[in-house]
Structure 1
Amino acid sequence: MKTLEIVHLLDDVSPGGVMQALAIFEHPAWVGRLRSRVVTVKPDQTLAPSLKADVIMTHFPPRWRALPFLVSLRLRNRHARLIHIEHSYTRAWAAHHVPRFGRFRMMLNISSRLFDRIVAVSQGQSQWLTEAVGIEPRRLQVVSPWSDVPALQAVPPSDWQGQRPLVVGAYGRFVWLKGFDRLVARFLTLDPARYQLYLGGSGPEEQALRALAGEAPHIHFVGQVDDRAGFLAACDIIAVPSRWESFGLVAAEARQAARPLLVAGVDGLPEQAAEAGWEVDFDSEHGLSTCLQNLTPPRLGAMAASARISTQCLVDDRLLRWRQLLPLD
């Protein structure tokens, strides 16, 4: 049986969600069936590499300046199946960044025609690519990222019964898009005797977030989260207040650890909170407090059970979807 050669083209290989998502191609199920490697590229250059590969996947967002590169990639690798994984562009992202949507839509349509298939990372993103951008549904496949942290499945459910403050956790890179400023602002209005916030991570917004939190006794900065299982075990519920989020690996990890979700109603986040949490308007003065006030121990326990159940077939689902996309036979 021929081993499938896959090349992943990235313009940024720093640690993050994209690199983490590539772990699915190292799963033992692929041993002897495919080999996967990463090649770093500069998409703003005109000439793409000619590659020894059966499948080439691009993981950088298309843009007008990258179109010559993508055309060159198609022409210089006619033998390969080209698949684009769209990690970045979403409805909420476009609302924040695109003043001339018609021009942006034209660019996405032109670039999408250079690929055999387009992969969206969530149903919400796929719906937007179909309805707003006009990419044909038959050329789209949804394959959500996979977070390879086996210890999450062993995290025991929260023991919160109202006997102590509820611990809300949030973690990730401290940048504006993640919306941690909205979460901190809302938490400042909550009773420290009833609610605690653990913020994990670091980034350029850290000093601004610390200044916003001030001396609030119930807002705690715990530093970089290297042990995700340990952090999630210390929390009762996880907030994801992002301003845009194509999928949200943090939400998926929280579900694996039996932690319910409080998510912003954007892009790929609401589908992760179905039966496992609530959508929250983090810009509303009372959005977060209303949800937390309605949270009872039985409700938390039910959502925690649903959260974990929703991830039981997660790996098998990802593997199946990739088998449907890859020319393995």
Structure 2
Amino acid sequence: MKTLEIVHLVDDVSPGGVMQALAIFEHPAWVGRLRCRVVTVKPDHELAPRLDADVIMTHFPPRWRALPFLASLRLRHRHARLVHIEHSYTRAWAAHHVAHAGRFRMMLNIASRLFDKIVSVSQGQSQWLTEAVGIAPQRVQVVSPWSDVPALQEIPPSDWQGQRPLVVGAYGRFVWLKGFDRLIARFLALDPERYQLRLGGSGPEEQALRALAGDAPHIHFVGQVDDRADFLAACDLIAVPSRWESFGLVATEARQAARPVLVAGVDGLPEQAAKAGWEVDFDSEQGLSTCLHDLTPPGLVAMGLSARASTQSLVDDRLLRWRELLPLD
């Protein structure tokens, strides 16, 4: 049986969703079948290198300046299978960033034709790519990322019975897109005797977020989250208030840890809340408070168990979808 040579092209190797998503290719199921390597490129400033590979996957977002790179990638590797994984662009992202929608759609369509397959990381993103952008549905395959943190499955469900404040957690990079400012603003109006907020992470917005929280006794910054299992175990449910989010790996990790999720209604997040939590309007003054007020201890535990159950086939599903995409036979 031939070992498939796969090259992942990235333009940023800093820790984050893109690099974490590559963990699926290190799964024991691929031993002897795949051999992968990561190559860092500068797609805006150079032509594609010549690569010895059966499959080449790009993990950076297409843009006008990168089209010469992508065209040369196709021309230099006519016999390789080219797959683009779209980690970044979404309907909500475009609403915030795209001034000329027609020009943007044209660029994405030109880029997409250079690949054999486009991988979307969520159903919401896939729907946008096919309906709004116009990429043919048969050319788009949904394969969501996978978080390889086995300890999450061992965390017991929340023990909250109303005898102490309900602990809402949120973690990630402190940047505007993650919407932590909206979460803090909503929490400032909540009763400190009933609700606590744990914020994990760091980033350029940290000082502004701390200033917004002021001396609120029920909002706690806990620093960088190095142990996600430990952080999640200290929370009763997890909020994901992002302004855009192609998938939302934090929500998946919360589900694995039997923690219900409160998600913004954008892009790939609502599908994460199906049988696992609630969609919340974090711009509304009543959205979060109404949801939390209606929560009961039995309801929290039941939703947490449902959230964990929704993740039981995640790994097998990811492996199956990649098998369908890769020329393994």
List, as ranges, runs of 4+ consecutive aligned residues in structure 1 with deviation greater than 3 Å: none
Query: Residue type of the partner of 1:128?
Result: W
1:95 maps to which residue? 95
After the TM superposition, which residues 134-283 of structure 1 pair with which residues of structure 2 at under 5 Å, given as runs? 134-283=134-283
Cα shift at 1:45? 2.2
Report the more deviating stretch, 24-33 or 43-52.
43-52
C-alpha distance in 1 between matches for 2:54 and 2:310: 33
Q: What do the CA deviations read for 1:302-327 (whole angstroms, capped 9, x no partner)?
A: 11011000000000000000000000
C-alpha distance in 1 between matches for 2:96 and 2:277: 26
Cα shift at 1:29? 0.2
C-alpha distance in 2 between matches for 1:130 and 1:163: 49
What is the Cα-based RMSD across aligned positions, in Å? 0.5
1:80 maps to which residue? 80
C-alpha distance in 2 between matches for 1:217 and 1:10: 42
Identity %: 88
C-alpha distance in 1 between matches for 2:79 and 2:12: 26
Q: TM-score, normalised to structure 2's length?
A: 1.00
C-alpha distance in 2 between matches for 1:92 and 1:300: 29
Q: State whether residues 46 and 72 of structure 1, in contact with CA within 8 Å, keep that contact through their aligned partners in structure 2.
A: no
Query: Residue type of the partner of 1:30?
Result: W
Q: What do the CA deviations read for 1:23-61 (whole angstroms, capped 9, x no partner)?
A: 000000000000011000000124111100000000000
1:2 maps to which residue? 2
C-alpha distance in 2 between matches for 1:271 and 1:302: 18
Query: Residue type of the partner of 2:325?
Result: L
1:60 maps to which residue? 60
C-alpha distance in 1 between matches for 2:271 and 2:294: 21
1:289 maps to which residue? 289
1:123 maps to which residue? 123
C-alpha distance in 2 between matches for 1:67 and 1:145: 26
Q: State whether residues 169 and 236 of structure 1, in contact with CA within 8 Å, keep that contact through their aligned partners in structure 2.
A: yes
2:301 maps to which residue? 301
Query: Residue type of the partner of 1:199?
Result: L
Cα shift at 1:299? 1.1
1:323 maps to which residue? 323
Query: Residue type of the partner of 1:204?
Result: P
Q: State whether residues 168 and 197 of structure 1, in contact with CA within 8 Å, keep that contact through their aligned partners in structure 2.
A: yes
Query: Residue type of the partner of 1:41?
Result: V
Query: Residue type of the partner of 1:220?
Result: H
Q: State whether residues 168 and 196 of structure 1, in contact with CA within 8 Å, keep that contact through their aligned partners in structure 2.
A: yes
C-alpha distance in 1 between matches for 2:249 and 2:181: 20
Query: Residue type of the partner of 1:174?
Result: F
C-alpha distance in 2 between matches for 1:244 and 1:260: 20
Query: What SS does the corresponding residue of 1:173 show, helix, strand or coil?
Result: coil
Please state if 1:28 is matched with 2:28.
yes
Q: What do the CA deviations read for 1:224-278 (whole angstroms, capped 9, x no partner)?
A: 0001000000000000000000000000000000000000000000000011111
Q: What do the CA deviations read for 1:148-193 (whole angstroms, capped 9, x no partner)?
A: 0000000100000111100000000000000000000000000000
List gaps (5 residues or longer) in structure 2: none
List gaps (5 residues or longer) in structure 1: none
